[in-house]
Amino acid sequence: MSNSNKKWFSLNLNSSTKQTSASCGCGNTAGDCHSKEEPELSEQEFLAAAVDASIGEETHKDGFEQVFDVKMDRRSAFKKLTASLLIGAGAVSTSCSTLAGDDSKEKAQIDWEEQFKGNYKLMSDDEKKATVNRLVRSYQLRTGKTISMSSQNAHKDVLYGYAFNISKCQGYMDCVTACVEENNQDRNSQMQYIRIHEMKDGKGFNFNEADDNYYHEVPAEGHFYMGTQCFHCDNPPCIEVCPVQATWREDDGLVVVDYDWCVGCRYCMAACPYDGRRFNWSKPEVPENEVNKNQHYLGNRMRKKGVVEKCTFCVQRSRAGKNPACVEACPTGARIFGNLLDPNSTIRWVLENKKVFRLKEDLGTEPKFWYFMD
Amino acid sequence: MRRFKVFTSLVKDSFDIITRGSKKYHLWMGLLTFIMLVGMYCYSIQLDQGLSVTGMTDRVSWGLYISNFTFLVGVAAAAVMLVMPTYVLKDIDFKQAVLIGEGLAVAALIMCLAFVVADMGGPSVLWHMIPGIGVFNFPNSMLTWDVIVLNGYLFLNISIPFYILFRHYQGKESKKSVYIPGALLSVFWAVGIHLVTAFLYQGLQARPFWNNALLGPRFLASAFAAGPALIILVLAIIRTYTEFKIKDKTLKKIAMVVTVAAQINLIMLISELFKEFYAPTHHSESAYYLFFGLDGKTALLPWIWTAISLNVLATVLLTFHKLRNNFRVLFFSCFILFVAIWIEKGFGLIVPGFIPGPYGKIAEYTPTGIEIGVTLGIWAMGAFIFTMLAKTAIGIETGTLRYKK
């Protein structure tokens, strides 16, 4: 099954070949999402490179050309245009206004830069840091409170996976509450990433007759429970349909959304076979004292209205080496999370020793979310 | 330089002609303006509060806007049914109607784009979709294909009639060598826009109701029935109220197109129904919801059965030559056929795709007043644009609008 022509990554649990960074599922239509490897240089090329490094552009350019004839991709060109516009606009506003304080000027500048920034997926690490700093500063200016926001990239040799023990889940929904609190979801619309389906014993996995919105004491007699959320598919249909690549699969397998790049067309919601995505129909609101201030750009930072969001396996926690909030909150131990590429991880033990299955496997989406029973 | 002068004069003259007219004309335009203003007011509420003012939810995430968009792509594509006979097959009888058909396509396309923008959660960041400064996920996303084909078709349908009218405005004949290549291209392009729009839905393995090979072809058949039906109605109005005389023969030929398309559409409907209900599977649940309701949820029942009966009635009426050649019957059948396909290819197609949800949840969808207001506003805008285009085109074609040297 190690067919490298395959468009998506397939789990290869029993083979000795390790997953390399070549298995990127981002669709590679624009830019590359993993670092390029330096090719070996021949002697001549080395000489040329050395000359280029020491005197560089000056070899055949001077004056005007040095300023204007610079190699530039459209993103940086656009950014420079924006910057010059900003300087112009800033100069005008400084000279004209005597009332506006420094804070409101800074706020306006941040808002402007945020409005015209690029897609996070295509940003360099410095650009990622810059936007995160702007967002932190903007939050500080608006609320006077300081948050910490990370732009940490995927670790090497990590591929996250999840397993759900149907025999253990009792339907307490502590995972749902923990998820909402951890991920700063809109309280008004009671948005929840996780749905717990209450099913009748003896009817099998009959989702049609299941109840995913119960309000009674659990575990209810003669019922069992099954949780669903985003399955972080290895071949996710949702990322293919996005017209602007605002959602993609990271190298560690997380399917994430750049909330600032999303245009809100909701095509991904139509394409998801697992009900994994949620939309901010109004401006999301979280009471100030309940805001989780430990944030990640791709994870639980505050969203705006009109964008899609979803479970990220708590990227702000998982990339910091912790379990997602739902795993930690589960009182029965029904939820297992870990690195699929680590042969000693619990998740690998489950996959190798239990009879596991996934939902709607016939669709070819390759979810990284398995169910099993004791 | 001379061309520029002619162009300025054309703009001035057409502005004159569209701001003058009978009392009825002013009343019509006033009414459309009023509806557009109401629509804009509704849209301003939506911009302010977000899409929560619509009936859409996480369970049914596309509604009236996308339904109308889908249907109108078909109306736009239908212009090809007049373009092909006139420019390619050189059938003289269609010649007068073709400009009207292309005008209708332009109006329908602008409405399509307006519906898509109205459906967006973040219209202020739509520049992310512009190739060059944004990220255009081509060719993976069918939505980017749709952006390309719709805008290309809009360009073709503006440029070809503009060239012809511009020549006629100066009292010159239009050169075939200039517009025939464009016309030929637009024939294929028209099929393209509707197929691509169907692929938008057809390509989603998550929604079995759409994930069906007949969807694209059936889109085409229904479009070539509903679009020309609308053109017949519009031509009937034009020949009653203006100098522009359209021959009976033209209407009858377009009626023939409508009839054949409606018949094919009906055959495909039967094929679809057979597949869903002869040996129903888990994947037939959306069809069950649409036609019979599920778990007592029956919001779409009255709509779809109205659509089916109107569809059958219209097709039967059109099939008999005697009835079809009677203009009263023809106009009536065209009207009910248009309504039937609007229901069937609009929310009769989009909404059941989401019901039941991925895990069998049945959450129904009802559009809100604001949503309906925006929708009506966009339709009024389409009618407004079409009226202006048609009035100018008729002025030039009847010779009242000419360049004065």
Using CA atoms, how far apart are residues A79 and A75, in angstroms rounded to an integer? 6
Q: What is the mean pLDDT of residues B205-220?
A: 94
Residue A154, by phi and psi: left (phi above 0), alpha (psi -120 to 50) or beta? beta
Beta bridge partners of A338: A161
Kindly report, residue by residue over A30-84, the tens digit of the pLDDT.
444 444 444 555 666 666 666 565 555 444 444 444 445 555 666 666 666 676 6
B-chain residues near A269 (CB < 8 A): 58, 61
Tell me how many degrees the CA angle B126-B130-B132 measures, rounded to the nearest 5. Answer: 140
Q: Please state the domain extents for chain B.
A: 60-368
Q: Which two tokens stand for residue A369?
A: 């979310």
Q: What is the mean pLDDT of residues B64-90?
A: 89
Nearest to B357 among A74, A275, A278 (CB): A275
Q: What is the mean pLDDT of residues B58-65?
A: 95
pLDDT at residue A306 greater than cutoff 90: yes
Total number of domains constituting chain A: 2
Is A40 within a domain? no
CATH number at residue A333: 3.30.70.20
Q: Which residue has the higher pLDDT, B250 or B377?
A: B377
Same-domain check for residues A168 and A146: no
Exposed, middle or buried by CB within 10 Å (0-12, 13-18, 19+), for B219? buried
Nearest to B206 among A29, A237, A260 (CB): A237
Tell me how many degrees the CA angle A56-A61-A65 measures, rounded to the nearest 5. Answer: 120
CB-CB under 8 Å, B135 with A237? no
Would you tell me how many other CB atoms lie within 10 Å of the CB of residue B388? 18
Nearest to A306 among B122, B142, B361 (CB): B122
Same-domain check for residues A257 and A347: yes
Is A329 within a domain? yes
A-chain residues near B204 (CB < 8 A): 237, 241, 270-271
CB-CB under 8 Å, B143 with A265? yes
CB-CB under 8 Å, A280 with B120? no
What phi, psi does A247 have (nearest 5°)? -135, 140
pLDDT at residue A155 greater than cutoff 90: yes
CB-CB under 8 Å, B62 with A270? yes
Is A33 within a domain? no
Nearest to B128 among A189, A261, A304 (CB): A261
Confidence band for A12, pLDDT divided at 50, 70 and 90:
low
Q: What is the mean pLDDT of residues A340-346?
A: 95
Residue of A nearest to B362 (CA): A208
What's the pLDDT at A44?
66
What's the pLDDT at A90?
62
Mutation pick from A7, A212, A248, A267 vs chain B, by most beta carbons of B within 10 Å, is A267
Q: Which residue has the higher pLDDT, B373 or B245?
A: B373
What phi, psi does A88 have (nearest 5°)? -60, -50
* Domain region containing A145: 66-150
Mutation pick from A8, A29, A310 vs chain B, by most beta carbons of B within 10 Å, is A29
Q: Are strands A369-372 and A160-165 parallel, antiparallel or unpaired?
A: parallel
Which runs of E-coded beta strand occur in A190-305? 195-200, 223-228, 247-249, 255-257, 277-279, 294-296
Where does B279-320 have alpha helices with state H? Answer: 285-291, 301-319
Same-domain check for residues A323 and A304: yes
Is A56 within a domain? no
Is A38 within a domain? no
Q: Which residues of A219-248 are buried (b: 16+ CB within 10 A; e: fewer)?
A: eeeebbbbbbbbbbbbbbbbbbbbbbbbbb
Same-domain check for residues A208 and A120: no
Q: Which of A102, A127, A150 is the last residue of a domain?
A: A150
What's the pLDDT at A58?
47
- Interface A-B, measured as beta-carbon pairs within 8 A, has a size of 147
CB-CB under 8 Å, A274 with B356? no
What's the pLDDT at A119?
94
What size, in residues, is chain A? 374
What's the pLDDT at A2?
43
**Mean pLDDT of all residues belonging to chain B:** 93
A-chain residues near B129 (CB < 8 A): 243-244, 263
pLDDT at residue A25 greater than cutoff 60: no
Q: Which two tokens stand for residue B97?
A: 């109607």
Q: How far A11 CA sits from the closest chain B CA (Å)?
A: 21
CB-CB under 8 Å, B122 with A275? no
Same-domain check for residues A127 and A193: no
CB-CB under 8 Å, B135 with A261? yes
Kindly report, residue by residue over A250-300, the tens digit of the pLDDT.
999 999 999 999 999 999 999 999 999 999 999 999 999 999 999 999 999
What's the pLDDT at A26?
44
**Mean pLDDT of all residues belonging to chain A:** 84
Q: Which of A150, A168, A202 is the last residue of a domain?
A: A150
pLDDT at residue A28 greater than cutoff 90: no
Q: Which residues contact B47 (CB under 8 A, 6 or more apart)?
A: B123
Using CA atoms, how far apart are residues B398 and B395, in angstroms rounded to an integer? 5
CB-CB under 8 Å, B120 with A306? yes
Q: Which two tokens stand for residue B4?
A: 């520029």
Kindly report, residue by residue over B343-364, the tens digit of the pLDDT.
999 989 999 999 999 999 999 9
What's the pLDDT at A323?
96
Same-domain check for residues A211 and A353: yes
Distance, C-alpha B150 to centroid of its chain: 12
**Domain B60-368 adopts which CATH fold?**
Formate dehydrogenase/DMSO reductase fold (1.20.1630)
Q: Which of A150, A181, A212 is the last residue of a domain?
A: A150
Percentage of the residues of chain A whose pLDDT score is greater than 70: 74
What phi, psi does A255 have (nearest 5°)? -95, 115
Q: What is the mean pLDDT of residues B146-154?
A: 94
Q: A236-239 — which CB contacts under 8 Å span 24+ positions?
A: A236/A25, A236/A365, A237/A271, A237/A272, A237/A273, A237/A363, A237/A365, A237/B204, A237/B205, A237/B206, A238/A268, A238/A269, A238/A271, A238/A272, A238/A276, A238/A277, A239/A25, A239/A26, A239/A27, A239/A268
CB-CB under 8 Å, A267 with B359? no
CB-CB under 8 Å, A283 with B144? no
Same-domain check for residues A130 and A249: no
Residue of B nearest to A198 (CA): B359
Same-domain check for residues A237 and A269: yes
Kindly report, residue by residue over B118-129, the tens digit of the pLDDT.
999 999 999 999
B-chain residues near A245 (CB < 8 A): 135, 137
B-chain residues near A246 (CB < 8 A): 128
Confidence band for B400, pLDDT divided at 50, 70 and 90:
confident
Residue of B nearest to A263 (CA): B122
Q: What is the predicted ipTM?
A: 0.93
Same-domain check for residues A259 and A325: yes
Would you tell me how many other CB atoms lie within 10 Å of the CB of residue B113? 16
Kindly report, residue by residue over A182-223, the tens digit of the pLDDT.
999 999 999 999 999 999 999 989 998 899 989 999 899 999
Same-domain check for residues A271 and A304: yes
Q: What is the mean pLDDT of residues B257-267?
A: 96
Is A343 within a domain? yes
Task: Specify the 3-state DSSP secondary structure of B183.
Answer: helix
CB-CB under 8 Å, B58 with A269? yes
CB-CB under 8 Å, B50 with A280? yes
pLDDT at residue B4 greater than cutoff 50: yes
Which of B339, B345, B54 is closest to B201 using CA atoms?
Answer: B345
CB-CB under 8 Å, A364 with B121? no
What's the pLDDT at A74?
64
